[in-house]
Every structure is written in C-alpha cells, then in structure tokens.
Chains A and B, each alone.
Chain A
Amino acid sequence: MGSGYELVVTIEESLIKISGEIDFTGTPALRKELHKFIEVSAGEVRVDLSELEYLDSSGLASLIELRRILTQEGRSVIIISVTEQVDRLLHLTQVKSLFGME
C-alpha cells in the first residue's frame, strides 16, 4: 500500500497505462493527469491495467469520472487488460459493462 502509481500515456494511440497501486492518497493526482489526457487526446481511449496491482474505490471513481467526461464528448473508454485484484473490484461493483468488458 501507498507505494503509488505510474501513469504512461501514448497520446497518438489514446492509450493509458496505469501501473502500481492506486488508493485514495494517489487519486487526486491521478484525476488531474486524466483530465489533462482527455484534453490532448482524441477518439476512443484504451486503458491498460495489466500492471495495476491495487485499485481502491476512490481510484475506481476516477476511472468512472474519466468515462463520464469522455461520454459527454461523444467518446468512449475501454479497459483492455486487468490484473486479478482489479478484475475482482470491477466484478464486485458490476461496472465492467461501462468499460467494454464482458
């Protein structure tokens, strides 16, 4: 816990990769970075969480916010890869359909 996350964005491909751990301590910074990304990217956004080891509910809230802003702009977001822990949270909260999963 608390070791933080790393965000790598590939703007041309509208691809975001978040690794590490996201809990409420990292969420404010993550939100800012995501907002910035939305402004400079276009089209459907793909999110790679294959190396995200921990995501808590406040972190999930920032992904849901990302989706909401993109949807308002007529864009969409899909999660292309997840770890078991993140998959469990997405399953538990029944939000997979929001991110083009299942």
Chain B
Amino acid sequence: MSTQAGRLKKLIQANEVLASIDSLVDLLPQLLRLAQEVTGAEASSIMLYNEEKNVLEFALAMNDVLSDVKMDILKTRIELPLGKGIAGWVAEHKESLNVTDAQNDERFSGEADKKTGFETRCILCVPVIHKGQLQGVVQVLNSSAKECFNEEDQELLESFGHLAGVALVRSELLIQRLDQQKFETQLEAASRIQQQFSPKQPALKGGNHIWGNSVPAQFVGGDLYDFIPNSDGSWYVYVADVAGKGLPAALIMSALWTRIRAAAAKELPTNKMMEEINSAAYEFMGGEVFATMMLARYEPHTGVCSYSIAGHPAPLLVSGGEVTEMRRPFGLPIGILDDGEFGMTEITLEKGQSLIVVTDGVDEARNSDGDFFGTERLAEALRGFDNPPVGKQLLHAVSKWRGKNPPNDDTTVVEIYKF
C-alpha cells in the first residue's frame, strides 16, 4: 500500500510539473529528471519520433555518473532507425522492454557506451504514446539502488510515458499556436499597410463627389481602387479586382498599384493607359493570374467621364431612382495577353446622377442560405436609396445581406456623384 501511495505521489508530482511547462526546450530536461527520479536510475535519455523520416532522434540524455564533456557526445542528434537497438525495438513494437543484462542482449547497441565509457548494465525502455501515436521513447539506465529495474519500475515508467506523451503533444500544439499567432500578427500588419493604399476622398469643387471603400474577405485582399489627379483638373478613378484572394492576390495588388500610378503620370486617354498597365502587369502576372479593371477619367467641371473596361462589371448609372447598366467597351482582363487592346467610351454625368463601380464581391456576397446578393438585388438596392450618394449605403446593404456569413470575396464600391 505504501509503495502504491508513493508511486501515485510521484506520478502526481510529475503531472503537475509537466502541466506547468510550455516549451519543448524546458520540457525535455524535466521529463528526464522525473523519469530518473521515479525509477531511481543513473542515467536516462529521451528520443523523439520523427514521423516524416520514420526514425528516432536523440533529443536529450542525462547521466549522473558521466562528466559533462562525455555527455556532449550524446547531445548531438543521433538518428536511430526503427528496429535498431533497444530503443528502436521499443519504438517499432510500441512495447516496453526491461533488459536486465544489456551487454549480452543481441538488441543492445554498445556504440554509446564505447563513445562515453559508460557501462550499461540494464535498460528499462518504454514507448511514449499519445492517442495511439508514437511520440518517442524514454529509457532509464542502471538502477542505482538495485541490481536492475523491476516490474514496479516498469509500470511506473509506463505511466510516466503516458504523461510525457500528453505533455509532448501539448507543447507541440503550443508551438503551432505560437506560430499561428506570429503569422496573424504579420497579417494584421500587412492589413494595415494595405489600407494605406486606399486613397483619401478628394475635396472637389463645383458639386462633385468621388468616394470609395473596400472590404477584404480576409486580412488582406486583391481589390484595389485609387483616385489620381491630372494636371488638367481631371481625375483617374479606377477599380481593379485581382483573381483570387488573400495574400497572393494582395501581393499582385500592390505591384499593380505601383504600375498604375506610373502609367497615370503620362496622362493618357483611358484606353491607352490601360494598354500601358496591361503590358506592365503582364510582366509579373505572366498569364497565370489576371485582374479585371474599370478605369475612368472624370472631368469634374464638365461631368464628362470617359472610361475603359478590362473584363470588369459594367458601371451603373443611378439617376432619379433608375439604375442603368452602362456600355462596356471591349477589353480582356489585364495580365492575360502581352499586347491587349482596349476600347473607350464616355458618358456625361448630370446633376443628381451617380456612377457606381463595384467588384464582383458585391453581387457574389452570400447570405446564410447561400443565396447571392446578385445583380437584380444590387439594382433594387440602388433604386431604393433616397438620393445619391449611395455608395456607402450599398456597401451597408451588402454587409446586411451577408449577415454573420464571412465575406467570400473582397468587396469594393466606388462612386462618382455630381450634385
């Protein structure tokens, strides 16, 4: 009874220690110290199972008899194939082994002894298993008080092996969670940087209003819009949507942003500017990814808005409660062909009229039933708003439609309004 109680106490102690340790680096020495204590051994070592290579790797060894110098020999990560040596045998069979005469056991490999000068008399080795999965093996060498390890030691070390398994898996999970946290911190930083790409709303005279907003589906997205002033008082206003989403789309998006800014400096008509953007974008998109785009050049003093389209949804004219889909001059999405050509057309915005440009995240927004917001509902929403500007209300309506459903695509709305 007293031995039972003593064993239990040791195991509870072990459990408490293991539960309080978070890092693998701190965990392994504690594991070994405990293993050695509960069994009263001279030395111990732990090997972790590398599933990818299907080998055991020496993780740590502890020896109360040998000097530190000799211990260093064991610290180098020795690999042990499954089935080789006592530890390899235990790992392969997922069974404990209590060897009372190591030197005469054919499974015993004397290599470590040769290197260190330690003489292994007996070995008790148990597998560390968690939920049926091999995590590694723990072995203790030479009982300091007895001739060899007995059945009680074996049971104790086996119980300890289970605790160690849980602790190992837990520390592995903690490492993963830390990695995940690091990654998310970086994404949040990336998200803040990407928000810097969004232009400020320009202060325009003479009753003109240019507004835009973009909501990424994930931290960062592939939607892009910008307002760039020209020397003649006109403004380039564009919306672009890089295929895909998340980080890959965001990287393409930021490269595209700089190419468009560079092309804008030439102050070309929209069709010629689109050609410039396309050939510059083809260099890094290389026909593997594309972006759709609507590029307008708006003259606030006249209301004239000329524009070109690269595979993008048509702009919508909201006027007096009516919504009209504007003409789409032909143009392939940018980044598909190195020598794309683009059409150009123009409309003139009258007072009270609003031109809305969206990305497909708007009509592809799904509600909790999986239904799309759709072009019909988009037009309906735009008709239903009192008076322009309506961009903000539209984005609001889309988010309401989506409800708690996470966005499945980046969503952008840009509006040019004359009042």
Contact = CB atoms under 8 A, between A and B. Distances in A.
Interface string A62-100: 001100100000000000000000000000111100100
Given A68-B336, A98-B336, 10 more contacts: A57-B243, A57-B360, A60-B290, A61-B288, A61-B290, A65-B288, A68-B288, A92-B311, A92-B313, A98-B332
A40 interface: no
A94 B343 CA distance: 12
| Chain A contact patch, size range | 10 to 19
Nearest to B333: A93
A61 B292 CA distance: 11
B401 interface: no
B370 interface: yes
A60 B288 CA distance: 10
Secondary structure class of chain A's binding surface, majority of residues: helix
B133 interface: no
B270 to A, nearest CB: 16
Interface string A28-70: 0000000000000000000000000000111011001100100
B409 to A, nearest CB: 8
Contacts of B330: 94
B332 A95 contact: yes
A61 B289 contact: yes
B311 A61 contact: no
Interface residues of B, number: 24
B244 A24 contact: yes
Interface of B: 241, 243-246, 287-290, 292, 309-311, 313, 328, 330-333, 336, 360, 370, 408-409
A1 B360 contact: no
Contacts of A61: 243-244, 288-290
Contacts of B333: 93-95
Contacts of A98: 332, 336
B242 to A, nearest CB: 8
Shortest 6 CB-CB contacts between residues of A and residues of B = A57-B243, A93-B311, A68-B287, A58-B244, A61-B243, A94-B311
A27 B330 CA distance: 27
B243 A1 contact: no
A68 B245 CA distance: 22
Given A61-B288, A61-B289, A95 B243 contact: no
Contact of A95 (B246, B313, B336, B360): B336
B243 A94 contact: no
Contacts of A58: 243-244, 289
Contacts of B328: 94
B408 A64 contact: no
Contacts of A24: 244-246
A93 B292 contact: yes
A60 B360 CA distance: 14
